[in-house]
Amino acid sequence: MAEEVETLRIEGMHCASCAATVEKALAGVSGVSRASVNLATERALVRFDPGTADVRDLMRAVDRAGYTARSGGSEPLAGADRAEARRALVAWALTTPLVVLMAARMLVGAEIVPAAWYGLVAFASSALVLSTCGRPTLLGGLRSIARRAPDMNSLVAIGTLVSLASGAPALLRFLGIGSGFEGFADISGMIMAVFLTGRSIETLARRRASRAIGRLSTVRVREALVERDGAELTLPIEEVVPGDVVIARPGSRIPLDGVIVEGGGAVDESVATGEPMPIAKRPGDAVIGSTMSLDGFLKIRVTKVGEDTFLARVAGLIEEAQGSKVPVQRFADRVVALFVPGIFLLALGTLVAWLSAPSVMGAAAERAAAFVPWAGAAGSSSRALFAAIAVLVIACPCALALATPTALVAGTALGARNGILLRRGAALQTLRDVTTVVFDKTGTITEGAPRVTDVVPLGVEPASELLRLAASAERGSEHPIGRAVREHAREAGAELSAPTRFAAIPGRGVRAVVEGRAMLVGGSALLAEEGVPVSSAQASERARAESQGKTVALVALDGALSGLIAVADRVRPGAARAIEELKALGIEPVMLTGDGVRSARSIACEVGIERISAGLLPGDKAEEVKRLQEAGRLVAMVGDGVNDAPALAQADVGMALATGADIAVEAGDIVLAQASLSAVAKAVRLSRATLRTIKRNLLWAALYNLVCVPAAALGLLHPVLAEAAMALSSITVIASSFALQRARLDPGPQYLKAELPMNSRRIESSGT
């Protein structure tokens, strides 16, 4: 039984350790082959055997781990966000008087209330904050410790509870009992208030950065105007079935994917492909659901509904990519796994070090006391506790954990808006270092819709009969050349016959019997394999057509070459500029094709590619990619057809045009929704921008912890400021990633030109 993939919305995660705990719980369910939990998107992507496990088993595993799972990757409850914000506001309402009193004592030495009364108020106020607003954090943190999987909540819980407990001597002193131990009950409530505020802002920022899927859902059409039995009915989109004819009026959104059967006009497809310019559509053209009909009245025969539609597949690709991990994240995951236990040990070590060697530990604090008011806290035991609490709350594993996934979320959203859909997050990192981009020719560099330009008899059959017989033989072929021959014959009014004993020979052509005559239609390799002789005059005629950039199909009747049919395919608009952009990025373009060398050279010269391999079979393309890899190249492959699937899979990064066959899309790591090849260079720029953001985030998070944790251990950081710095660290990483969504992927006003004129480039080629 095939594996299923389920997306779960996970509630209650607040740090990297939370995500690791949930991931471990899901991976432990029998039948689960892979589980990936993304803290940034609060989603879990689980691949499992439905015969062994089901969604209820997954949700129960998450529940046992102490979190809540909801099926379908649905959006988080707005009520939960509001409750979190309310808790932060109430916490500040209770602690603001303490902030004023503490600031007055610390900064100007003013005792607004007597010290004994201050201690009592501080203890009571902080206890109220922890028992109400901070209760979920405390319970979650203590449960995590009990499960031997401490997380960020655990650090804050221990830090605030120890701070509160340190205020007990102040209560005794109020009653006239005990020594002058200086407690820190006042900072307990402040730490919790800052923590709740930071977490609320962080959650809001994370969700804002991961709204790419949500934006797609907002443009989906809810109802469709359907033509049934001569009447127009308005139906919910769920009731429309393939084969229905739907109507899109000017200025309205096209309800579902389909083919235009009547009408025409400009269609804005930017929501799906990122292409800003409207596309002219006419009967027979495919359209995408939720795109906008600008000025035409369209009748569309529906071809896809539900999860099969283009936008639904796009949403699935984005969700899968955002739930995946890039290789650079492995380092952060290893660090985070040890981070929280390590901080607990460091805090304990700090306490012991201060108690056993206060003069050594306090040397830096003493020197800083003149300009850092809290550095001179009285009493070695008070200072030891002060430093240990600061260590607990300054540490920020979240910044490390969020550095990669938030950048990946932002990168996938930016890519989606530009028609670049990431199927596998790891491909984004690999693409940054690609040195060679290999292009399929037909349907990738060219539009893939060749038209017949010449029908040349080379035997006794007239041109019209040669065309009719060849088109009949091609009736079973799905190759673009076969379709072009059939279309040209129909336009000429030819009556086609049904072929028998039809066989498509991949990369060669077709073999069939038409009206009792044995026929071959294909390249010179097919005729050579079948023993059909080709005279020098016939070869010259073929060479003449190929020298003009045309692809030639030879037609043999009953073992003799009877003619040739030449077809030409237009180069995609902007292909030459796209190739130049890749060169400006330091990447060598290569073209692979099953066509002959002369035709391949003509197209290569037109777009500016110097290196080609021609006359290739489908398997040869994969071998050619492998040969480049063995030569030390990191290779990306761009293709669109079934024949390209092996090469797409072989390449380090496979880039499939979404307009191509489904199997090619499934083989690609990145799907290009735009027909323009400029999307290839955009994808490279996206990769480099995303990896720069990831590295910047990781560097910031590492430096933050490397600087701030030792400073806290030396007593230089006040615990409240330490908690604020911890929250700011995560928010800074998220803001850095969010800024990536505003990046431009266009090349800018200038890009490098080739050194040689287009018509004087040296074309390196292999093949026949």
* Length, in residues, of the chain: 768
Q: Where are the beta strands (DSSP E) in 214-354?
A: 223-228, 231-236, 245-248, 252-253, 257-263, 265-268, 279-281, 286-287, 292-293, 298-304
Residue pair 212/303 in contact by the 8 Å Cβ criterion? no
Q: Which residues contact 280 (CB under 8 A, 6 or more apart)?
A: 264, 265, 266, 267
Q: Which residues contact 385 (CB under 8 A, 6 or more apart)?
A: 162, 166, 184, 351
Q: Which residues contact 89 (CB under 8 A, 6 or more apart)?
A: none
Q: How far is CA 558 from the centre of its chain?
A: 54
Q: Which of 198, 189, 202 is nearest to 91 (CA)?
A: 189
Annotated active-site residue in 186, 257, 440, 595: 440
Q: What is the dihedral of CA 531, 537, 543, 546, to 10 degrees?
A: -90
Q: From CA 202, how far away is CA 209, in angstroms rounded?
A: 11
The helix/strand/coil state of 156 is helix
SS3 per-residue string spanning 200-248: HHHHHHHHHHCCHHHHHHHCCCCEEEEEECCEEEEEEHHHCCCCCEEEE
Supply 111's token pair.
């005792």
Of all helices (H) and strands (E), which one includes residue 5?
strand 4-11
What DSSP state is assigned to residue 419?
Answer: T
662 catalytic? Reply is no
Q: From CA 184, how far away is CA 656, in angstroms rounded?
A: 61
Q: Which of 144, 117, 131 is nearest to 12 (CA)?
A: 144
Instruction: Give per-residue burial for 218-247: e unless 16+ CB within 10 Å, then b.
Output: eebbeebbbbeeeeeeebebeebeeebbbb
Residue pair 510/522 in contact by the 8 Å Cβ criterion? yes
Count of beta carbons in the 10 Å neighbourhood of residue 574:
15
Q: From CA 384, how far away is CA 374, in angstroms rounded?
A: 13
What DSSP state is assigned to residue 574?
Answer: T
Q: What is the dihedral of CA 152, 156, 158, 161, to 10 degrees?
A: -160
Q: How far apart are the first and last CA of the chain?
A: 45
Q: From CA 93, how far away is CA 91, in angstroms rounded?
A: 5
Q: Which of 756, 228, 690 is nearest to 433 (CA)?
A: 690
SS3 per-residue string spanning 580-633: HHHHHCCCEEEEECCCCHHHHHHHHHHHCCCEEECCCCHHHHHHHHHHHHHCCC
Residue pair 282/264 in contact by the 8 Å Cβ criterion? yes
Q: Is 465 left (phi over 0), alpha (psi -120 to 50) or beta?
A: alpha
Q: Are strands 4-11 and 68-71 parallel, antiparallel or unpaired?
A: antiparallel
- The residues annotated as belonging to the active site are 440
